[in-house]
């Protein structure tokens, strides 16, 4: 990213660089081993559609393919991400606040105990009856 160069977004900048080098999205996908829909999402700044843990890696690989300084591209991405305000439903919750949808162990033990007690009562009533 040369000094004095302006761009609307990082994605548009990457797309402009790719097009100035007359590279198709398919050629970049083959070179970088990043799927075309992912590259398209990067060029359209649709980071929420991508796995968050891979975005920096995708950007770094894409920048290197275009002959750009990957560290600088990552820094620009981080600055843009810091400026962006995310709504609460876009922020990931920590694992401790996510409820499990499994079987409650205590409920399972109580249910089995009740069934066994009922079976014992039925058995005992048949044994004690004449």
Domain positions in the chain are 10-90, 96-128
Q: What is the mean pLDDT of residues 44-71?
A: 92
pLDDT digits (tens, 9 = 90+) for 31-50: 999 999 999 999 999 988 88
- Quote the pTM value: 0.61
What is the percent of the chain with per-residue pLDDT over 70, rounded to a whole number?
A: 78
For residue 47, the model assigns a pLDDT of 86
Q: Let me know how long the chain is.
A: 130
Distance CA 48, CA 59 (A): 14
DSSP string, the chain: --TT---S-HHHHHHHHHHHTT--HHHHHHHHT--HHHHHHHHTT-GGGS-GGGHHHHHHHHHHHTT--HHHHHHHHHHHHHHSPPPGGGSPPPGGGSPP-S--HHHHHHHHHHHHHHHHHHHHHHHH--
In order of 42, 67, 75, 122, the CA distances from 60 in angstroms are: 11, 11, 10, 71
For residue 4, the model assigns a pLDDT of 47
Write the CB contacts of 15 (distance below 8 Å, at least 6 apart in sequence).
43
Distance CA 128, CA 23 (A): 89
Q: Which fold has domain 10-90?
A: 434 Repressor (Amino-terminal Domain) (1.10.260)
Distance CA 47, CA 36 (A): 14
pLDDT digits (tens, 9 = 90+) for 24-36: 999 999 999 999 9
For residue 130, the model assigns a pLDDT of 63
Q: Is the predicted pLDDT of residue 86 greater than 60, yes or no?
A: no
């Amino acid at each position: 990213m040369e000094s004095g160069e302006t761009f609307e977004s990082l994605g548009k900048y990457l797309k402009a660089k790719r097009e100035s080098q007359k590279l198709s999205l398919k050629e970049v996908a083959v070179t970088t081993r990043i799927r075309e829909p992912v590259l398209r999402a990067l060029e359209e700044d649709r980071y929420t559609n991508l796995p968050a843990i891979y975005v920096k890696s995708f950007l770094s690989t894409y920048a290197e393919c275009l002959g750009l300084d990957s560290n600088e591209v990552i820094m620009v991405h981080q600055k843009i991400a810091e400026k962006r305000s995310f709504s609460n439903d876009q922020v990931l919750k920590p694992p401790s606040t996510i409820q499990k949808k499994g079987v409650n162990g205590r409920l399972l033990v109580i249910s089995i105990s009740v069934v066994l007690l009922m079976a014992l009562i039925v058995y005992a009533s048949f044994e004690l009856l004449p």
